[in-house]
């Protein structure tokens, strides 16, 4: 698809607009230009440490023109998935950060869970917590993961994420997780529904070549890989496919889209 037919842009946050919630050079102005051109915007993130409202407040404070309605998080998508496929289920949550607002009416318990939900990694992912989750999976609980990210970038460098622990839980308990955030097709489709556009008129910008870009392309969107955040040349070379476009940073997106200065 040519970029001239794009009517909406899906944007990852961490590593694309910000690193450790600090704006990357040119990102604020680039988003302003995209909005000024009348394009729809959805911020689609696997971030599991902040709610949609908290993310919007933080980004607005950094100068980005966004509101909570512009943000789709993996926790919010997970809550919708649980409500649809596991109504009334008792869920154990393994996550670092407060995402209670986005989980809404999900019933959280410490034991005797129907579903083990894995969010983002942090200090809470210690042996005791992982072993409790393993025990519940052995007793028949289903496994849902908000994402499979192995790492993400902070201002201190690359940090280990929950995908590494998820692999261990799956192998040990002999189960396979259902993924509700990126790279699941349902996550991208939910964003498109919010924007009111079809996949052929939308573009996805991300720093994770597999979960952001190639996953979006498999869902019918145009993919744009940025060389910021978690981008690594070797990961790019060894990827399972080829991005539709590669740019140095989000600041280059208006030029790719042919937007006026």
What does the domain layout of the chain look like in residue ranges?
A: 3-46+182-257, 78-179
Q: What per-residue confidence (pLDDT) applies to 166? A: 97
Asked if the domains 3-46+182-257 and 78-179 are classified in one and the same CATH topology, the answer is yes
Q: What is the CATH number of domain 3-46+182-257?
A: 3.40.50.1000
Q: How far is CA 202 from CA 11, 40, 70, 71, 222, in A?
A: 11, 9, 15, 16, 6
Question: Selecting from 3.40.50.1000, 3.30.1360.120, 3.40.50.150, 3.40.640.10, what CATH number does the domain 78-179 have?
Answer: 3.40.50.1000
Distance CA(192)–CA(68), nearest Å, equals: 16
User: The tokens of 108 are what?
Assistant: 């959280």
Q: What per-residue confidence (pLDDT) applies to 48? A: 87
**What's the pLDDT tens digit per position in 5-47?**
899 999 999 999 999 899 999 999 999 999 999 999 999 998 8
What 3-state class would DSSP assign to 166?
helix
Closest to 93 measured CA to CA, from 78, 71, 72: 78
pLDDT greater at residue 154 or residue 90? 90
Say if residue 13 is exposed, middle or buried (CB neighbours under 10 Å; 0-12, 13-18, 19+). buried
User: What average pLDDT score do residues 189-198 get?
Assistant: 93
Q: What per-residue confidence (pLDDT) applies to 2? A: 62
Q: Which of the residue ranges 68-72, 78-82, 153-157, 240-244 would you say has the lowest mean pLDDT?
A: 153-157
Given phi > 0 = left and psi -120 to 50 = alpha, else beta, which region is 231?
beta
Taking the whole predicted model, whether its pTM rises above 0.95 is answered as no
Q: Which of the residue ranges 173-177, 184-188, 206-210, 222-226 would you say has the lowest mean pLDDT?
A: 184-188
- Give the 3-state secondary structure of 40-65: EEEEEECCCCCCHHHHHHHHHHCCCC
Contacts of 254 (CB under 8 A, 6+ apart): 30, 33, 34, 37
Sign of the dihedral through C-alpha 219, 224, 229, 231: positive
**What's the pLDDT tens digit per position in 246-260?**
999 999 999 999 998
């Amino acid at each position: 698809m040519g970029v001239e037919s794009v009517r909406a842009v899906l944007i990852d946050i961490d590593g694309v607009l910000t690193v450790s919630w600090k704006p990357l050079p040119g990102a604020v102005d680039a988003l302003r230009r995209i909005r000024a051109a009348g394009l729809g915007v959805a911020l689609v993130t696997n971030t599991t440490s902040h709610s949609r409202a908290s993310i919007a407040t933080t980004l607005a404070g950094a100068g980005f023109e966004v509101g909570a309605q512009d943000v789709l998080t993996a926790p919010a998508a997970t809550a919708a998935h649980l409500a649809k496929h596991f109504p009334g289920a008792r869920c154990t949550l393994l996550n670092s950060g407060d995402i209670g607002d986005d989980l809404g009416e999900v019933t959280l318990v410490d034991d005797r869970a129907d579903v083990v939900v894995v969010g983002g990694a942090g200090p809470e992912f210690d042996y005791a917590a992982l072993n409790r989750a393993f025990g519940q999976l052995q007793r028949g609980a289903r496994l849902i993961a908000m994402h499979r990210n192995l790492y993400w970038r902070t201002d201190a460098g690359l940090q280990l994420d929950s995908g590494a622990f998820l692999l261990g839980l799956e192998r040990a308990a002999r189960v396979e997780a259902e993924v509700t955030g990126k790279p699941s097709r349902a996550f991208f489709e939910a964003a498109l529904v919010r924007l009111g556009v079809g996949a052929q008129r939308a573009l996805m910008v991300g720093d994770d070549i597999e979960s952001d870009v190639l996953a979006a392309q498999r869902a019918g969107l145009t993919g744009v890989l940025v060389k910021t955040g978690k981008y690594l040349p070797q990961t790019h070379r060894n990827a399972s496919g080829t991005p539709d476009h590669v740019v140095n940073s989000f600041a280059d997106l208006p030029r790719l889209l042919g937007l006026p200065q």
